[in-house]
């Protein structure tokens, strides 16, 4: 399990989220794997529905994307279990239709939006962003979506709204990782909640995401709708969202609740701020062997650093 995977991951790379959660989650992961039927390799994702989008070249990396195989079989989606292969293996139980997103809180026009309506709300763009996981690896993914700002404007945040809370579906029937018992041992307090400051959420780089690699999102990548915030560690990019709430107070996120000393609210990619257990100075692109230097704000400093002027990013990590 922690030894070889298709991409050549080694046991020395197990600096992962599970260690944050302590030994119980780690053991639960090991046990779940032993119980996996036949130890069969993760099934290839079924060919998804095609989604056409215009490439936004100005906001895209020019690097070649990670293989779709890696991007859809090496995932963090703890609702399906704590191992990287769990989401691809188990994601068939998630039903991305029918689906709607409740938009409420400090807004003039609270509403529940159907996913089909969300898909039509703004022109779809393709943007190639690197997703940098706090575990020290990254992938280059051609996402499809449009700025989250377009959706937020539609509900008209009031002047009191200062933060955006994003919540993933809570349904133990669809998410085995949310069931009481072995799968959920030492895992997160469900549902998965993330949050952004309103100006971060409104930033043009913050992408409401409905597809990748020219298709609708595979279940294991957060179907039918997620966010991608390219200058923050991957865990800020909440999957399978059912509620977007505008609030006055900074939301308490699932990872902060699990390990507050390790996961801050901001979680901007920052090579100068190490995690308590390891350095964040370098990363490995999945599919490559050498490690590369991690860039401040994951390479987007010129676009987003001004959001944090005057803040001590060592304290507000
Ligand atoms: N609901 C939910 N969203 C989540 C996670 C999760 O466990 N549950 N994992 C996060 C982490 S740690 C990462 S690195 C990215 C991975 O996204 P990907 O599988 O599409 O590459 O999703 C993030 N979003
Ligand atoms: Mo991550």
pLDDT digits (tens, 9 = 90+) for 140-189: 999 999 999 999 999 999 999 999 999 999 999 999 999 987 666 668 99
Candidate from 217, 237, 285 with most ligand 1 atoms within 8 A of CB, to mutate: 237
Residue 20 has pLDDT above 80, yes or no: no
Which atom of ligand 1 lies nearest, measured to the CA of 220?
A: 19
Ligand 1, atom 5: nearest CA belongs to which residue? 77
Centre of ligand 2 from the C-alpha of residue 76, in Å: 6
Ligand 1, atom 1: nearest CA belongs to which residue? 239
CATH class of the 3-308 domain in this structure: alpha beta
Percent of the chain with pLDDT over 70: 85
Residue ranges of alpha helices (H) inside 123-253 are 148-155, 198-202
Which atom of ligand 1 lies nearest, measured to the CA of 133?
A: 14
State mean pLDDT over 21-37.
53
Residue 261 has pLDDT above 90, yes or no: no
Give dist(CA 97, CA 298) in Å, integer: 33
3-state helix, strand, coil in the chain (%, to 5): 30, 25, 50
Give the pTM.
0.90
Closest to 6 (Cα-Cα) out of 48, 90, 65, 68:
68
Q: What is the pLDDT of residue 79?
A: 97
pLDDT band at 48 (very low <50, low <70, confident <90, very high): confident
Ligand 1, atom 19: nearest CA belongs to which residue? 75
Ranked by mean pLDDT, the top range of 38-42, 179-183, 278-282 is 278-282
Q: What is the pLDDT of residue 315?
A: 86
Q: Give pLDDT tens digits for 205-257.
A: 999 999 999 999 999 999 999 999 999 999 999 999 999 999 999 999 999 99
Centre of ligand 2 from the C-alpha of residue 236, in Å: 8
Q: How high is the mean pLDDT of the chain?
A: 89
Least reliable range by pLDDT among 21-25, 88-92, 283-287: 21-25
- More confident site: 262 or 23: 262
43 DSSP assignment: P
State mean pLDDT over 254-273.
94
Asked whether the bond before 224 is cis by omega within 30 degrees of 0, the reply is yes
Structure tokens at 13: 């790379």
Ligand 1, atom 14: nearest CA belongs to which residue? 234
The answer to whether 231 touches 268, Cβ cutoff 8 Å, is: yes
Residue 23 has pLDDT above 60, yes or no: no
Residue 41 has pLDDT above 50, yes or no: no
How many contiguous H segments (helices) and E segments (strands) does the chain have? Answer: 9, 13
Token pair 């215009």 is at which residue? Answer: 54
Centre of ligand 2 from the C-alpha of residue 264, in Å: 14
Centre of ligand 1 from the C-alpha of residue 7, in Å: 19
- More confident site: 39 or 223: 223
Centre of ligand 1 from the C-alpha of residue 236, in Å: 8
Q: What is the pLDDT of residue 45?
A: 39
- C-alpha radius of gyration, the chain, whole number: 18
Give the pairing of strands 282-285 and 54-55: unpaired
User: Please, is 69 exposed, middle or buried when counting C-beta atoms within 10 Å of its C-beta (0-12, 13-18, 19+)?
Assistant: middle
Closest to 227 (Cα-Cα) out of 190, 202, 258:
202
Q: Which residues, at least 6 apart from 50, have a Cβ–Cβ distance to it below 8 Å?
A: 214, 215
- More confident site: 29 or 34: 29
Residues with CB under 6 A from ligand 1: 17, 75-79, 131, 133, 139, 168, 192, 221-222, 234-235, 237-240
Closest to 255 (Cα-Cα) out of 138, 172, 133:
133
pLDDT band at 15 (very low <50, low <70, confident <90, very high): low
Ligand closest to 70 (CA) is 1
- More confident site: 240 or 314: 240
Residue 22 has pLDDT above 70, yes or no: no
Centre of ligand 1 from the C-alpha of residue 308, in Å: 24
The answer to whether 129 touches 228, Cβ cutoff 8 Å, is: yes
Give the pairing of strands 137-147 and 207-212: antiparallel
Which atom of ligand 1 lies nearest, measured to the CA of 78?
A: 7
Q: What is the pLDDT of residue 204?
A: 98
Q: What is the pLDDT of residue 25?
A: 59
């Amino acid at each position: 399990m922690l030894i070889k995977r298709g991409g050549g991951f080694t046991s020395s790379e197990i600096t992962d989220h599970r260690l944050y959660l302590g030994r119980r989650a780690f053991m639960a992961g090991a046990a779940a794997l032993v119980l996996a039927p036949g130890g069969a390799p993760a099934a290839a994702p079924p060919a998804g529905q095609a989604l056409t989008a215009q490439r936004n070249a100005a906001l895209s990396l020019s690097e070649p994307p990670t293989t779709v195989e890696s991007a859809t079989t090496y995932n963090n989606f703890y609702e399906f279990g704590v191992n990287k292969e769990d989401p691809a293996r188990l994601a068939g139980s998630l039903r991305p239709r029918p689906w709607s997103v409740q938009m409420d809180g400090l807004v003039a026009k609270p509403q529940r939006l159907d996913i089909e309506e969300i898909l039509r709300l703004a022109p779809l763009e393709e943007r190639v962003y690197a997703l940098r996981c706090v575990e020290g690896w990254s992938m280059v993914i051609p996402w499809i979506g449009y700025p989250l700002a377009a959706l937020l404007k539609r509900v008209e945040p009031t002047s009191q709204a200062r933060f955006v809370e994003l919540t993933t579906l809570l349904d133990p029937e669809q998410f085995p990782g949310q069931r009481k018992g072995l799968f959920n041992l030492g895992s997160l307090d469900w549902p998965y909640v993330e949050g952004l400051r309103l100006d971060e959420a409104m930033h043009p780089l913050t992408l409401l995401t409905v597809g990748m690699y020219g298709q609708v999102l595979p279940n294991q990548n957060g179907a039918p709708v997620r966010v991608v915030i390219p200058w923050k560690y991957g865990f800020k990019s909440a999957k399978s969202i059912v509620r977007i709430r505008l609030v006055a107070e900074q939301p308490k996120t699932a990872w902060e609740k699990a390990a507050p000393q390790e996961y801050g609210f901001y979680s901007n990619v920052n090579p100068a701020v190490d995690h308590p257990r390891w350095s964040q100075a370098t990363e490995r692109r999945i599919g490559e062997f050498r490690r590369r230097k991690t860039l401040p704000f994951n390479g987007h400093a010129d676009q987003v650093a001004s959001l944090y002027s005057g803040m001590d990013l060592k304290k507000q990590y």
